[in-house]
Amino acid sequence: MDRINDIFETLRENSKQGIIEVKEAKENGMNIVGTYCVYTPWEVIAAANAIPATLCSTSEATISEAEKHLPRNLCPLIKSSYGFGITDKCPYFSFSDLIVGETTCDGKKKMYEYLERIKPMHVMQLPQSNNRKEDLEMWKREVVYLKERLEKEFDIEITTEKLREQIKLRNEERKALKGFYELGKLVPPPIYGEEIQLVLNHAKFHFDKKSVSGQLREITEVIKEEYDQGQRRVESNRPRILITGCPIGGAVEKIIKIIEEENGVVVCYENCSGIKEQKQLIDENKDPIDAISEKYLDVGCSAMSPNDHRIEFLSELIDEYKVDGVIDVILQACHTYNVETFRMKEFVKGEKNVHYMSIETDYSQSDIGQLKTRISAFIEML
Ligand code: BJ8
């Protein structure tokens, strides 16, 4: 019996378990808060005794409905999110009592204005830079406004103790996730990028964080043990790829599939569907609101100007994961990430001396052939 295959098989079988968990929580009187972005302070929502649930945004299925209200030349992630809202096809959206969004890119913040017609929304005003003390002060006020809104909405007091408890809980999950990711540093890596994604999705859509942390540690342990005993699932001659850029769940997982079919292997995801959120723990010794504000503002998203945090983190990851090539995934009409490709290319090729390519795609499968040709040529060059 292959223990690692068994683990992945079970995760595939349980991929819809999150919906059942949220449904049961709702039936037991818990509130659900829908979220879209890694800037959302998870701990504040959880301290209000509510479940923060990531909303559906990665399928093409609802885009045509969204285009009845939104322009066609808008990022697919925004159209998909909105489409799921108006068609009521995302169970997490249906169960949500409140949606929390942030003013990241223009398309997202304008879409929230329409979403508010369907569900109660709380939009956090995100500073457009994260390197000045004024930015942190502004963001801290927003974190406090969110806390107050949740208290009012759910008639509950969010105490310092509750915040501390949630910080601890989520930090444990971050540590467990980090431990799992770091398997990708091994040469050759013990598992494929597609399998990494499977585990990440499991963590994202399971809401009992205590048990998720335990499962992650167990999965990491089994993979390490098998590796130490000589099991090699991934050939050592596969070029090691880091993915950066826009989030790549659901429909965009086509890129991971192509990379690995074309004989590469994804060892690290720098983007928001990957390690970006786990980069920094929340300081458990500080005032919880201060510590939460600092951690979340640190995220290196292209909505920030300048976005130096992305470069700094990318630099560390390229070295630590011994990366041969960086693939920067841009969702169509994502201007902020698209503009950053020039700086990324300069940095990755010029300063890190690592191969770089950017890919623009959407949620359709119509560009598969073209992506295959480009990715295969890139991997061959490595
Ligand atoms: S912190 S990356 S999850 S905003 S891809 S909708 S930026 S046009 S998703 Fe994101 Fe938060 Fe940033 Fe991460 Fe706009 Fe670009 Fe679309 Fe984007």
The token duo for 95 is: 């169960």
Whether omega for the bond prior to residue 189 falls within 30 degrees of 0, making it cis, is no
Residue with tokens 């990440």: 200
Mean pLDDT of 351-367: 97
| Residues above pLDDT 70, as percent of the chain | 100
The pLDDT tens digits of the residues spanning 172-186 come to 999 999 999 999 999
What average pLDDT does the chain have?
96
Question: pTM score > 0.85 for this model?
Answer: yes
Is ligand 1 within 6 A of the CB of residue 334? Answer: yes
Is ligand 1 within 6 A of the CB of residue 39? Answer: yes
The pLDDT tens digits of the residues spanning 65-79 come to 999 999 999 999 999
Comparing CA positions, the residue from 213, 113, 120 lying closest to residue 170 is 213
**Is residue 208 over pLDDT 70?**
yes
Is ligand 1 within 6 A of the CB of residue 40? Answer: no
**Is residue 354 over pLDDT 70?**
yes
- Least confidently predicted of 10-24, 78-92, 143-157, 367-381: 10-24
The token duo for 243 is: 């993915």
> Which is it for strands 325-331 and 355-361: parallel, antiparallel or unpaired?
parallel
Index of the ligand 1 atom closest to the CA of residue 330: 5
Q: Which of 55, 57, 75 to mutate to test the pocket of ligand 1 (most atoms within 8 A of CB)?
A: 75
Terminal Cα distance for the chain, rounded: 35
Cβ proximity of 298 and 280 under 8 Å: yes
Is ligand 1 within 6 A of the CB of residue 108? Answer: yes
pLDDT at residue 94, rounded to an integer: 97
The pLDDT tens digits of the residues spanning 224-266 come to 999 999 999 999 999 999 999 999 988 899 999 999 999 999 9
pLDDT at residue 1, rounded to an integer: 55
**Is residue 8 over pLDDT 70?**
yes
Index of the ligand 1 atom closest to the CA of residue 276: 13
Index of the ligand 1 atom closest to the CA of residue 337: 15
Is ligand 1 within 6 A of the CB of residue 303? Answer: yes
Give helix 193-204 / helix 160-181 axis angle, nearest 10°.
170
d(CA 102, CA 204): 19
Domains in the chain: boundaries? 14-156
Is ligand 1 within 6 A of the CB of residue 234? Answer: no
Q: Name the pLDDT band for 213 (thresholds 50, 70, 90).
A: very high
Quote the DSSP letter at residue 55.
P
14-156 in CATH: which number? 3.40.50.11890
d(CA 275, CA 310): 12
Q: How far is the CA of 360 from the centre of ligand 1 (A)?
A: 14
The token duo for 134 is: 């004024």
